[in-house]
Amino acid sequence: MQAAPELEAFRHEVRSWLDENLSDEFRNLGGDAGPADDRDWDARVVWEQRLGEAGWIGLGWPKDLGGRGASILEEVIFHEEYAKAGAPARVSFFGEGLLGPTIVNLGTPEQKAKFLPPILAAKEFWCQGYSEPDAGSDLAGVKTTAVLDGDEWVINGQKIWTTFAHHADWCFAVVRTDPEAPKHKGLSYLLVPMDQPGVEVRGIKTIVGTSEFNEVFFTDARTPTENIVGEVNDGWKVAMATLGFERGTAFLGQQLRFEEEMRHLLAEAQKRGRADDPVLRDRLADAYARLRIMRFNGERMLANLAAKGVLGPESSIGKLYWSSWHRALGELEVAVMGPDAMVVGPGYEPNEFQHYFLSSRAETIYAGSSEIQRNVIAERVLGLPREPAVASK
Amino acid sequence: MNFAFSEEQVALRETVAQFLEQKSPSAEVRRIMETTEGYDPEVWRQMGEQMGLQGLHIPEEYGGQGYTFVELGIVLEEMGKRLLCAPYFATVCLAANAVMNAGSDSQKKELLPGIASGETIATLAFTEPSGKWDADGIAMTYEPAGDGFALSGEKMFVIDGHNADLIVVVARKAGTSGTEGISFFTVAGDAAGLTRTALETMDMTRKQAKLEFSGVPAELLGEEGSGWAALSKTLDQAAVCLSSEMVGGSQEVLDMSVEYAKVRVQFGRPIGSFQAIKHKCADMLLETESAKSAAYYAAWAAAEDNEELPTVACLAKAYCSEAYFHCAAENIQIHGGIGFTWEHDAHLYFKRAKSSETYLGDATYHRELLAQRIGI
Ligand SMILES: Cc1cc2nc3c(=O)[nH]c(=O)nc-3n(C[C@H](O)[C@H](O)[C@H](O)COP(=O)(O)OP(=O)(O)OC[C@H]3O[C@@H](n4cnc5c(N)ncnc54)[C@H](O)[C@@H]3O)c2cc1C
């Protein structure tokens, strides 16, 4: 465990940097902490580049790769202060949060040199090309293919639900490189440039009314042979590792945003006189209690990690817990608004509460749906038997 | 707040767990719950003499071990897991705290050492037939009598009231209402004018009594008329203690369910391979782990005696009680027919979960308290 004074010094450093740099143009920009919201994108990119210049991107990455080598506790402090300051939602979830750590841990020296610096500077953005029309939860069913042609991979197929593909310079994609091999065995993990004739991005309008995610069509798209992470046909392992690298610390910042949202809701309920309704009052107190417990869960996970070096069972429930809580909060938000919730702003512009009511429905679907989370908890934490597999190919 | 337990705390948990494994296995629980007293005096004596459990969080100057609510929480969690039948909650989590919160220094010196050693079984009598858990529920009045006071009226749902040597009673000055005019008194269990009736409780692992007072001589505990703050704090502490206990029970029913789901085969496969069962177990884990986080945090706030105690006490009671009951109910469902039998332990936990949820006020009641305390 790090000594408290050391951590306090770090906290002070974060706070004073934010104090000096978070000018009004950046404060209170739109966009929530979720990875699927691109309101005020351009301004958030400018801000992200400032973060990069000051060395706040890639906090936990090793120093020799341009990171800060920060401990988990330091990362937590950073995210706490960041959220408290009301700084903009981060734009580089896929690059900094997913692809970066994958390269740090599994990339070649050349890949590290080529891909990490632009992520650290917020000059290049990434998207995640996993899901396909026929491969969602069952990711190993991807059909997009890649075949070698000289010193290039040639890619054909379709990805879907690709968040921020329209902002992305690169896509990390799971593709099939051996159609004959069993499902999980014939996959590879390729890094594909988006700006080329063989890549077409078509926006998909979400229930919120905006288009943060897309269909991505690959038609003889190309990428050099060296743009593969891990071995050919060993991409399943890399794809899973990517999901495991997210340390979950960014989420603590998100919780502070939830606390902010909760405060807004309580204020709204009082303003509208809805807090006197006994049923709503009970639901508000319940939401508040569960939010506090969400934070206790997170702190307990970190304390046990610091003390024992391993994650306990409490770490497996995080995603299921927060996504369910936030979805229920969205329903409570429109209940508090009452009939006013039925009317949105001009141009289908939802207010804060309507926005969360709608956008939170995605949270129990992406990054492992709640059903998949329960399967994983039951099988990996509680050791219940796996379901008998249905023969498929 | 540090959620990680120290080595000493882990060792305490193991010692208590081992002790209870021997002294409170299912067969013993079932033997003792059939008795009127509802506890085994020999085990109670060992808890005091060998383990020092009754005095765990009582300061050393009053004959206790000088530990905190965190250690008490650990012990209660293990007791909840084994459904220990003993007047521990009444004596330690109700009466001792009431004496510490309300009593004068000399009263603490007089009353606490006996509790700490296990010699005195004690309880707190505050609820009445109205079944209200707040200040309005206290209708019993006191009157001056000789050098002291006399109590008349009826107390209900008094945990281990029929066993207690020492009864801490809450009553109000005639003509007052709400949080005004509330005082604590001590009454001997065998006092003249006191009629005690053991109640037949649905949860047989925790006994309750009805206490009828008619001019019972009583000694004032602390100061006259200003007892509400001490009572409110005592109830918060009791809610925290009960939360710890419920967490232990919740973990136990989860373990029972998972174990059974692995071995019970239907349709040619373990029922635990069916998602309907798997997802129930996953939700039980989520609730049990979250209940732990809430109970541990609340125990810490009680140990620190900080300003967060009132909010986290009712938050923990609300969440832990719903989590425990839900897990205990799912445990019966997952066991099928056998879960509905008297012979299987599932009902013991189910009933303890319900009595714990109800006692001190249910989740709705505690969420209302929470709403008031966070200023909604
Ligand atoms: C806002 C948003 C952003 C996204 N961004 C990206 C992105 O950037 N890149 C990317 O690759 N993907 C992205 N996704 C896709 C996401 O990963 C998938 O939606 C998810 O994996 C579920 O796949 P699916 O939509 O095909 O649903 P399906 O897998 O078809 O699931 C449909 C339903 O069946 C249930 N189900 C499926 N399998 C099981 C099972 N074994 N047991 C029980 N129930 C099951 C699911 O829980 C769900 O309720 C995004 C999704 C959303 C909503």
Beta carbons of B282 and A382 less than 8 Å apart: yes
Averaged pLDDT of chain A:
92
Residues from chain A that touch B275, judged by Cβ atoms under 8 A, are: 371, 374-375, 387
Chain A segment 170-209 residues within 8 A of B by beta carbon are none
| Identical topology for domains A4-91 and A126-235 | no
A140 lines ligand 1 (CB under 6 A): no
Q: How far is CA B236 from CA B89, B97, B127, B312, in A?
A: 14, 10, 15, 9
CATH class (in words) of the domain with range A126-235: mainly beta
pLDDT tens profile B62-86: 999 999 999 999 999 999 999 999 9
Averaged pLDDT of chain B:
97
A341 lines ligand 1 (CB under 6 A): no
The answer to whether A307 faces chain B, any CB pair under 8 Å, is: yes
Q: What angle do CA B27, B29, B35 make, to 5 degrees?
A: 110
Question: Which burial class, exposed, middle or buried, applies to B117 when counting CB atoms under 10 A from its CB (0-12, 13-18, 19+)?
Answer: middle
Ligand 1 geometric centre to CA of A140 (Å):
13
A188 lines ligand 1 (CB under 6 A): no
The answer to whether A293 faces chain B, any CB pair under 8 Å, is: yes
| pLDDT score at A393 | 45
Q: Of all atoms in ligand 1, which is nearest to the CA of residue A369? A: 47
A375 lines ligand 1 (CB under 6 A): yes
| pLDDT score at A246 | 63
Active site residue A246: yes
| pLDDT score at A252 | 67
Sequence spans of domains, chain A: 4-91, 126-235, 248-381
Q: What angle do CA B236, B239, B240 make, to 5 degrees?
A: 90
Whether B358 has a pLDDT exceeding 90, the answer reads yes
Q: Return the residue matching tokens 């129930």.
A: B280
- Closest alpha carbon within chain A to B374: A285
| pLDDT score at A200 | 98
Pairing of strands A170-176, A126-129: parallel
Q: Which amino acid is at B297?
A: Y
CATH of A4-91, one of 3.40.50.300, 1.10.3720.10, 1.10.540.10, 3.40.50.10300: 1.10.540.10
User: Catalytic pick from A246, A259, A314, A352?
Assistant: A246
Q: How confident is the model at residue A1 (pLDDT cuts 50, 70, 90)?
A: very low
Q: Which of B279, B290, B370 sits opposite A297 (nearest CB)?
A: B290
Q: Residue A193: what are its φ and ψ, rounded to 5°?
A: -70, 140
- Closest alpha carbon within chain A to B313: A289
Number of residue pairs across A and B with CB atoms under 8 Å?
133
Ligand 1 geometric centre to CA of A202 (Å):
19
Q: Return the residue matching tokens 């832990």.
A: B320
Residues comprising chain B, all counted: 376
Question: How far is the alpha carbon of A173 from chain B, nearest alpha carbon, in Å?
Answer: 30
Q: What is the CATH number of domain A248-381?
A: 1.20.140.10
Mean pLDDT of all residues in A291-306:
89
Q: What angle do CA B184, B185, B189 make, to 5 degrees?
A: 135
The token duo for B154 is 């009826």
Mean pLDDT of all residues in B238-253:
98
Whether A327 has a pLDDT exceeding 80, the answer reads yes
Mean pLDDT of all residues in B304-332:
98
Q: Which amino acid is at B320?
A: C
pLDDT tens profile B256-309: 999 999 999 999 999 999 999 999 999 999 999 999 999 999 999 999 999 999
The answer to whether A273 faces chain B, any CB pair under 8 Å, is: no
Kindly provide the b/e burial profile for residues A58-89, where b requires at least 16 CB atoms within 10 angstroms of the residue's own CB: bbbbeeebbbbebbbbbbbbbbbbbbbbebbb
pLDDT tens profile B125-169: 999 999 999 999 999 999 999 989 999 999 999 999 999 999 999
| Reported ipTM | 0.95
The answer to whether A297 faces chain B, any CB pair under 8 Å, is: yes
CB neighbour list of residue B12: distance below 8 Å, 6 or more residues apart: B71, B74, B75
Question: Which burial class, exposed, middle or buried, applies to A303 when counting CB atoms under 10 A from its CB (0-12, 13-18, 19+)?
Answer: buried
Q: Residue B63: what are its φ and ψ, rounded to 5°?
A: 90, 5
> Which H or E run includes B235?
helix B228-263
The answer to whether B171 faces chain A, any CB pair under 8 Å, is: no
The answer to whether B10 faces chain A, any CB pair under 8 Å, is: no
CB neighbour list of residue A210: distance below 8 Å, 6 or more residues apart: A38, A39
Determine the Cα–Cα distance for residues A218 and A230; give it in Å rounded to an integer.
22
| Long-range Cβ contact pairs of B59-65 (< 8 A, separation 24 or more) | B61/B109, B62/B100, B62/B108, B62/B109, B62/B112, B62/B113, B62/B116, B63/B112, B63/B113, B63/B114, B63/B116, B63/B117, B64/B112, B64/B116, B65/B116
Beta carbons of B281 and A384 less than 8 Å apart: yes
Residues comprising chain A, all counted: 393
Question: How far is the alpha carbon of A27 from chain B, nearest alpha carbon, in Å?
Answer: 28
